Structure 1
């Protein structure tokens, strides 16, 4: 029964606001329930504070939120046992919303391309999201203060609202009955559908949310609990709830921060890459909560993408509910949280690498491809570079090494860390660029993936050591290290032979023409007959291939050919050249050497000419060998 009913007209800008809310294409209408639950949770928090701060207040009503669906009225009813409102508070909070910035909201809603669900909370008008799904709302509320009457607020969300004093006894708290529009009944008209919304948006609200006599929010917000009270089994159970991964995580990171931003966080490092087929790369980010209420699923501003394998939640007190995605990206608080989280994750990985190398190797195998993209994180370069792992010429038993391992084994006076992009260890053993390192017993890091070279190019140095591509190592810096003596080492060329070898190189350039920039005698090669390098030395062969692929350039680059004057093939060619400079063997061998080098470099797309030439040479060599056998 009601008495003293009064009718109030909405102000002009409030009418505009309601018109926008009701008639706009709202992208996420279900958040009306999240807004009401958040308001109810705030009321319960305030009631708890009142009980603690007012010794004379004797209250035994259980704090809870109850949600039900009335099939007859097609209405959703949300009740809380919070502190309730007086008539004055009703008028101040929901009787008018001009004080909450409704005029500014209307202006921005008209101008902004953002969805309205991101604007609502910023202007304190979350309650009015109800009118997205309803054309009638009844609010009944009773303040916990002695002597205050129960109040009823009724509106159709159009031009006016009615305010009445209820002549009946109610316990403190608020009840909101939302009469669903006809086209909203199918979406929200059952307790099962309401449970789904609560589980999605309000699962970790600290007060019980009851639907159909059953508590819906049963999962504890572990990140809010003291670490010493939580067992490992609880962490693993929460991780499985969060990710649906059947395996426990490699590591758990649970911490609270008070400054510069107050937030709680619970993060996990999965045992394996959860994007098994590489088809779900955009499915990453941490769940962002504000006071246990989900603000954004998979927020991508809290961690850099190279840490996208991390799963978990972040909960802060310092952000407003419903902060927009656009504002999140530019929000200074989010930036500070991100900076802290990144340092914490890298610190945890560093600890695992130090304390449990086997577990770190498991992490590296699962997540290294994503992690390597962190070479652009200049603020955390030192921490990041310590965590990198590589294969190398001295790595044993498939054990990967860190830069620090390389430095420990480096030769005295060596201030370079040498690396080379190779297809495999077997390919590295045939790589002519690495021969000088093998002869001088200098370790070379092997890079197997294109991103590895970008990592090296970006880092450039580590702990006073310069990162250098083996292909263009400075000979002066290598010459100070002694080379191992070779068996059956070739006799040094005489001065006359050196001049003839120079002439042979010029002849080979003449034969190969524009296919090479130059043919010159190498100072590096010891086993291979030749190698190819870029004329200007500005870019490694592997980086050049990456750039050409990016530009969809399939042409074969013009390179400088270096020949090994001590190789038996070049010595044979020299002997033939001195007898007959135009001998067919010189031309065949020159072309064969070039195409074999191109094949090793990965540039030879059509091997037919090379195969035909090999067969021709084998035929001739077989004939020569047969004649020698006959003479013997």
Structure 2
């Protein structure tokens, strides 16, 4: 068929009226009222069906070239008529006989494809995965149309074997359809939609082209629309009588990597991600095996606007045989990789009746797992070979990636290796230290990975909990993101080395030598009376008071026992409006500090004030808030002037 040719049909007798199968009536009711959440996908479904018909003809004609009837150039045409209120989608594919029309359009889920598959064997079975179904997606036409006409003729049959199928809704319901004979010179199918009044906004070239770009850009076959030019005299667009292709007609991801330039990859990213910038990196691969799929995925340079939305609107697009199905990263990738953009094109995923939601299937789980590993592999390569690019990625998406520690148990170790930190060994404030870097610098005999959580980097660097570690030259990771308190609860060890917070009890500190441990035990005995007096004065605020092994400069600090909630996490939960359990920390005191000596030599109210001051200083150093700031200031003033 030439671009400017039209299908010629001859009027025929009224035909016969047949009842819909009961399931079809139910399906139509569901379609019209609630099945499809987005009415614009009717065009996707009809173009998909037209593409399927072309695919099927191409397959059949491989062994029976006569089916082409002298024209092997397969296309899809989309047209509209504002005056008549119609949209027409036409193909020159395999077409249907009268029997197939009744089976396919009057009986649910009977597309003829199953019977088609039964006739295949060997390599042909694999090739046939490209052939889709002319299934129930057809009924999506009734979302926007109150009357639908289908005119078709099967390839290889004479012109008088054409068939016309008509159905009109009555009060949003339909119980029957009409089938009539039709003389049709051209093979293939055309579907004519008589639009409802509320759907007439689809009657424009701009609107239809927009939908084609959105849903069917990478359909293999050319999609043609009437060419229009601006008529200055009339002040409107007029048709030139020619047709022009409005889709690319080829799927970039389906081409060999050697045939695609970097600029083509970048341009496709801009299209699929709606981003004017270049991508940071990309991954293009074809996966073969039990489940076959092709992926083309990108890492953006900057965070998408909806990165922190519960349900991001732009993610990885899913195609099945080059037909767009859904845009939902969470179904194809875990939530912590929601920044990834691109496409996945699967060959054999099952679809449910609307194509809007995938059925729960092991195939989907397998594909999701495979894609996840490949994205993490891309990040590993970036971290190893292009550290500057990885630093850009981490600055933008590091907090999101940390979510994977708790969400993805199977890949926890891989994700942990990708984490980056500031540490007490860092020269600057940029997070460049990996856990592997930390392990490589561990002191002889050190068996634990130490970290400190704080509200800010400055607070972490000046924490009294670091004093012993600085003295011993033991590196400590400084964690200042709110999510750090969360993921450290899931990553309890890395490469066999436990992760331990320096704010935990003294039993967790392996940096002490025997002499230091003996000194602490001796101090506990020597100052037992003062320690008990402090415990009594601070009853209800602290669980216990004991000599500190970790303090070298500060007078006191607060620690929690192993398994208890840290004070930092408690503050985060309370700031988020969540109820946090009560935490009674242990007050550790530096018995060699002058403030402790002043407290020990005091009596009565003066001792109570020194005890309160030691506690409040420790709380402030911890990043906590005082219950009575004004009272703290007065107390300090009184003790200073003595």
Q: CA RMSD in A?
A: 3.2
- Asked whether the equivalents of residues 290 and 321 of structure 1 are also in contact (C-alpha less than 8 Å), the reply is no
Instruction: State the distance in 2 between where 1:494 and 1:100 align.
Output: 83
User: In structure 1, which of residues 355, 365, 375 is the aligned counterpart of residue 405 of structure 2?
Assistant: 375
1:125 matched to 2:136: yes
Partner secondary structure for residue 301 of structure 1: helix
User: In structure 2, which of residues 495, 498, 506 is the aligned counterpart of residue 463 of structure 1?
Assistant: 495
User: In structure 1, which of residues 613, 617, 629 is the aligned counterpart of residue 635 of structure 2?
Assistant: 613
For 2:33, the equivalent position in structure 1 comes to 24
Instruction: State the distance in 1 between where 2:312 and 2:520 align.
Output: 62
Gaps of 5+ in 2: 1-9, 112-131, 169-173, 227-242
Range that drifts further, 398-407 or 291-300: 291-300
Shift of 1:547: 4.8
CA change 1:83–1:328 in 2 (3 A) is closer
CA change 1:525–1:402 in 2 (3 A) is same
For 2:171, the equivalent position in structure 1 comes to none
For 1:403, the equivalent position in structure 2 comes to 435
1:524 matched to 2:550: yes
For 1:450, the equivalent position in structure 2 comes to 482
Range that drifts further, 440-449 or 131-140: 131-140
Range that drifts further, 501-510 or 358-367: 501-510
Range that drifts further, 419-428 or 551-560: 551-560
Instruction: State the distance in 1 between where 2:306 and 2:15 align.
Output: 63
1:49 matched to 2:65: no
In terms of Rg, which structure is larger?
1
TM-score normalised to structure 1 length: 0.84
Partner secondary structure for residue 38 of structure 2: coil
CA change 1:383–1:516 in 2 (3 A) is closer
**1:177-197 superposed Cα distances (whole Å, 9 cap, x missing partner):** 22223343x232233322222
For 1:628, the equivalent position in structure 2 comes to none
Instruction: State the distance in 2 between where 1:498 and 1:99 align.
Output: 81
User: In structure 2, which of residues 189, 206, 211 is the aligned counterpart of residue 197 of structure 1?
Assistant: 211
Shift of 1:540: 2.9
User: In structure 2, which of residues 69, 77, 80 is the aligned counterpart of residue 66 of structure 1?
Assistant: 77
For 1:477, the equivalent position in structure 2 comes to 510
- Asked whether the equivalents of residues 502 and 521 of structure 1 are also in contact (C-alpha less than 8 Å), the reply is no
For 1:111, the equivalent position in structure 2 comes to none
Partner secondary structure for residue 474 of structure 1: helix
Shift of 1:146: 5.5
For 2:239, the equivalent position in structure 1 comes to none
- Asked whether the equivalents of residues 21 and 107 of structure 2 are also in contact (C-alpha less than 8 Å), the reply is no
- Asked whether the equivalents of residues 556 and 603 of structure 1 are also in contact (C-alpha less than 8 Å), the reply is no
For 2:121, the equivalent position in structure 1 comes to none
For 1:104, the equivalent position in structure 2 comes to none
TM-score normalised to structure 2 length: 0.83
- Asked whether the equivalents of residues 16 and 179 of structure 2 are also in contact (C-alpha less than 8 Å), the reply is yes
User: In structure 2, which of residues 323, 328, 336 is the aligned counterpart of residue 298 of structure 1?
Assistant: 328
For 2:182, the equivalent position in structure 1 comes to 166
Instruction: State the distance in 2 between where 1:560 and 1:16 align.
Output: 71
CA change 1:391–1:147 in 2 (3 A) is same
1:100 matched to 2:101: no
CA change 1:36–1:513 in 2 (3 A) is closer
Instruction: State the distance in 1 between where 2:296 and 2:344 align.
Output: 7
Shift of 1:211: 1.5
Shift of 1:460: 0.7
1:182 matched to 2:214: no
Partner secondary structure for residue 255 of structure 1: strand
Equivalent pairs counted in the alignment come to 585
Partner secondary structure for residue 450 of structure 1: coil
CA change 1:317–1:442 in 2 (3 A) is same
CA change 1:389–1:250 in 2 (3 A) is same
Partner secondary structure for residue 239 of structure 1: helix
Partner secondary structure for residue 59 of structure 1: coil
- Asked whether the equivalents of residues 422 and 432 of structure 2 are also in contact (C-alpha less than 8 Å), the reply is yes
CA change 1:29–1:223 in 2 (3 A) is same
Higher helix content, 1 or 2: 1
CA change 1:27–1:509 in 2 (3 A) is closer
- Asked whether the equivalents of residues 35 and 126 of structure 1 are also in contact (C-alpha less than 8 Å), the reply is yes
**1:557-588 superposed Cα distances (whole Å, 9 cap, x missing partner):** 543222111112223444x34xxx44x64333
Instruction: State the distance in 1 between where 2:261 and 2:514 align.
Output: 56
User: In structure 1, which of residues 125, 138, 142 is the aligned counterpart of residue 149 of structure 2?
Assistant: 138
CA change 1:210–1:394 in 2 (3 A) is same
Instruction: State the distance in 2 between where 1:22 and 1:563 align.
Output: 72
CA change 1:20–1:122 in 2 (3 A) is farther
